[in-house]
Amino acid sequence: LGGFGIYEQENITFKNMTVTNTSNNGYGIFISNAKVELFDVALKGCESCGLFVPHTTSLTTTVVANRCQFANSRNGAFVRGSLTSATFKNCVFHDNDEDGIYGSEFATVHLHGEATAIHSNEDEGISAFDNCKVIIHLPSHHNTTYNNRGDDRFTIRGGTITNVED
């Protein structure tokens, strides 16, 4: 219970845990100018975002999440900034008050794995704003986003969401 802030660090790994942060504007994990990996982590019940990666101007921020769950928060994952890359492998984003994944400001988001699912969020499944690129490394017939109250895929101001087959 509570959140983590990772600043200007490398080789940080979270494994087999649940993170819940119900404090005002509480983030589960806040990452800035860092390189972080998540394995089998549930980020849920956060007042703000399960995962928050803000825009930075100096160092690259990289997040790789494997078999993680982002649920019951305001946003599952919020990723922004041209120096930011987030990769989600077999992760599930569901039942968030707003978006499952919110990307903006030139961030790059990669989604991999047949178990990937973005569903039942109160607003959009995936939002790509301000030249954010979301690349779904699955065939277009894969049921990646579904049953979201708003759009399953929402783009505006140059944001893109694209399926590619590797």
pLDDT tens sequence for the chain (166 residues): 999 999 999 999 999 999 999 999 899 999 999 999 999 999 999 999 999 999 887 789 999 999 999 999 999 999 999 999 999 999 999 999 999 999 999 999 999 999 999 999 999 999 999 999 999 999 999 999 999 999 999 999 999 999 998 8
Confidence (pLDDT) at 128: 98
Give the SS3 label for residue 148: coil
pTM: 0.97
CA distance 80 to 131: 10
Tokens for 7, please give them.
């600043």
User: Is residue 34 within 8 Å of 60, Cβ to Cβ?
Assistant: no
For residue 133, give Cα distances in angstroms to 66, 128, 137. Answer: 20, 7, 12
The dihedral built from the CA positions of residue 6, 80, 86 and 46, taken in this order, carries a sign that is: positive
pLDDT at 74: 97
**Can you give the pLDDT at residue 102?**
98
Integer Cα distance of 1 and 121 in angstroms: 23
